Structure 1
Amino acid sequence: MSDHALPDTLPAWLARLEAAHPVGIDLGLERVAEVARRMGLLDAPLCDRVITVAGTNGKGSTVAMLEALARAHGLSTAAYTSPHLLRYNERLRLDGQEADDATLIAGFEAVEVARLDGEPVSLTYFEVGTLGALWAIARGQMDLAILEVGLGGRLDAVNVIDPDVAVITTVAQDHAAFLGTDLEGIGREKAGILRAGRPAVLGSTTLPASVRQVAGELGAEVHALGEAFDWDPTLPDPGLPLDNAATALQALLLAGLDLEEEACRRALAGVELPGRMQWLGQWCLDVGHNPHAAGYLAQRLAVRPCRGRTVGLLGMLADKDADGVIAALSPVVDAWVPASLAGERARAADDLAERLARHGGAVWHRGASPAEAADWLAARLAPEDRVLVCGSFFTVAEVLEWRLAGEQTAGEDTASEGAR
């Protein structure tokens, strides 16, 4: 497609971006930094304050709490996250609202003009999305930008922007094909977001030594959980990891925000994050897809008694540690319904079922898809049972769509009854 025939709808733009670069993930900053320079994104600070968040798990919840806390103190905010669950618009929030199609399209167009201004630069779907979001944030003149790293840290597109405060939530194994399996190496990659002389907030007490080594090499100011700060048990439980709540509060303090206790309580009590310990009646949806995240899920379920059975609806990608996830969840799950995912990286329900059996799990059904598995399971649940939907963003997204479709159908049926 030539630059003379740019798409005019968001779905058309996303289809174009998916087909534009030969590989989906192409780590490195040279290409994206060149286009960012052409766009003027490196000429001045993105906004008054920038906080960048990296980590294996806990990034999304930390970003959500940073955003809620900042807004409760009257700051205008921009938050960039990935991936999305139902709509691409979820990736960019401006003052707490998802960016509209027009804002996203304008960002994509600005990236397209810049990448063709001189020697053409090839960019991935994620890189165009990141640059487009940064362009929109810069134009918005916000008080605070919160940027979530997509993968790794050092070579992620988000890292073209220098943060005022850098946050590392956790370091565990995930994305092994790109980051390897050595935790020290993964820690060094994630520590690539740190900057000399600027605060580094370390949100876990079990980070690999390489994170502090990088901070020391750079001369970054280290503020570590359990040392410089900790969480206060008297604050409201946001239903998200309290380590991340404490990390968000510490990062905002270091960004120059004067925290007020009542505003913090209000923000933490009201923060919500779809797909993270999200309860919809009997159904708990969580995008956890590695053993570390599954361990946290198991802890949360263990302290929430259930009179009936806990059923795991599990769908995972082939490049994830399914055995590690199953082992972490097995103590709190009574029966399983594995589901097949679609796409190149898909893992079949049969594969999951075999692994579940090896771990001693009872497999009730093998779903052709997460939606089919949810449909099958919904007809067989007792009122006191609960379902944990997990293993992948794709699994949670499909069950969310299934749930929303069911609610819409129920609403239409009720309206029809009322009209008779």
Structure 2
Amino acid sequence: MPAPTIGVWVPTLPHLLRYNERVKIDGQEADDQLLVQGFEQVERARLQGSEISLTYFEAGTLCGLWCLANAELDLVVLEVGLGGRLDAVNIVDADVAIVTTIAQDHANFLGTDLAQIGREKAGIFRANRPAVLGSQTLPSSVAECAQVLAAPTFSLGQQFTHQAMAGEAFQWRWQGLHPDGSSVVINELPDPGLPIDNAATALQSLVLAGLELEESRVQVALSSVQLPGRLQWIGPWCLDVGHNPHAAEYVVRHLPSPPEDGRQWGLIGMLNDKDIDGVIQALAARISDWVCVSLSGERGCQASELSQRIIAQGGRVHFSADSPQAGVDWLANVLTPNDRVLATGSFFTVAALLARPLPTGAASLDGDGNEIR
């Protein structure tokens, strides 16, 4: 059976290096010409009749959907941005809707009540269509919303599970359900370099979308997962866009210790509407030496504010910089060959670092020096 052609829309803000990253068709980023055509179509429709005002996100979402709609695709994966219920992507009635985890994020818009945030996220569910719940710690409001809509619910730990398999190398087994309720099992899956809960959720969602999963193809796919900006190593630098406590906890669990006599530095830049104290608390389990950087814009948190919050939790702040680039320049003069740096807290922070050469001072940890896992 030929492999399905898949299109992906990821409304990441900001994109790391190119806007083209947001639209992928059969594994390839959309080229400039296709995106220009898409925006031209959006603008033409916007100006028909009474002029319609569109936000940046709305225009980009419509362009992305136009690009995907004009490709011959078997499956389209749409990431939903802010909240869910009121997000531009939610104009699409998905065949399968997924909620992975719930954490405080975009607090200025969503507040800090996790039950209410769960209801906003569950706003992407549709009546009588599968809802996949990818965490065992979701607020009950998520499942309640699915129940109200009579949406068949597939929950991690219940309708689908994963278990580690015995052996020297880490492998795991996934068990899920077909839409008709029959069981499906895939064995000897490799470590995908991302949370196993998320990988298991993706497999269950693909089955519900009607794909037949072949064990050998799933094994190959998971062994070649690449996520730029997620535990991405460039020499002694680990870049991770995590910006909530859940993501920070994952990073901490998977961050290797530096060589003997080396220090694990943290370079952090965040936005004001994130759970800053929660992220710092999670990272403090591994990082005691910090460089704080300011992010620009009305949502950007100043380095001085980050510094105060870190010091309040017992951390040592060595330098506060007015930009991620300035933080890198300061670290370039103090890093020793055995030091490692985790740069994290925001897409803005990681994007700024990917756009410039990073000082190394040490040989790469793994691979060819730019390993994305």
The TM-score with structure 1 as length reference comes to: 0.77
Distance 2:191 2:116 in 1: 33
Query: In the alignment, does 2:175 pair up with 1:246?
Result: no
Residue of structure 2 equivalent to 1:195: 126
Residue of structure 2 equivalent to 1:305: 257
Residue of structure 2 equivalent to 1:79: 8
2:104 and 2:274 in contact (8 A); partners too:
no
* Deviation (angstroms), 1:232: 4.1
Instruction: Give the letter for the 1:272 counterpart.
Output: Q
Q: What is the DSSP-based 3-state SS (H/G/I as helix, E as strand, rest coil) of the residue aligned with 1:258?
A: coil
* Deviation (angstroms), 1:183: 1.0
1:231 and 1:245 in contact (8 A); partners too:
no
Instruction: Give the letter for the 2:292 counterpart.
Output: P
Q: What is the DSSP-based 3-state SS (H/G/I as helix, E as strand, rest coil) of the residue aligned with 2:76?
A: strand
Matched ranges for 1:5-404 at <5 A: 74-83=3-12, 84-233=15-164, 234=171, 235-301=189-255, 304-307=256-259, 308-403=262-357
Q: Alpha-carbon deviations, 1:164-183, whole Å to 9, x = none?
A: 11111011111011112111
Provide the aligned length of Structure 1 versus Structure 2. 333
Structure 1 regions of 5+ residues with no counterpart? Answer: 1-71, 408-420
Q: Alpha-carbon deviations, 1:212-233, whole Å to 9, x = none?
A: 1111111111000011112243
Q: What is the DSSP-based 3-state SS (H/G/I as helix, E as strand, rest coil) of the residue aligned with 2:35?
A: helix
Distance 1:166 1:319 in 2: 26
* Deviation (angstroms), 1:383: 2.2
Higher share in helix: 1
Higher share in strand: 2
Report sequence identity in percent: 58
Runs of 4+ that moved beyond 4 A: none
Q: Alpha-carbon deviations, 1:169-201, whole Å to 9, x = none?
A: 011111011112111111111111111111111
Structure 2 regions of 5+ residues with no counterpart? Answer: 165-170, 172-188, 361-373
2:130 and 2:151 in contact (8 A); partners too:
yes
Residue of structure 1 equivalent to 2:167: none
Distance 2:320 2:97 in 1: 43
Instruction: Give the letter for the 2:98 counterpart.
Output: V
**Alpha-carbon spacing, 1:324–1:185, altered in 2? closer, same or farther (3 Å):** same
Distance 1:338 1:366 in 2: 5
**Alpha-carbon spacing, 1:311–1:151, altered in 2? closer, same or farther (3 Å):** same
Q: Alpha-carbon deviations, 1:83-124, whole Å to 9, x = none?
A: 111111111011111111111111111111112212221110
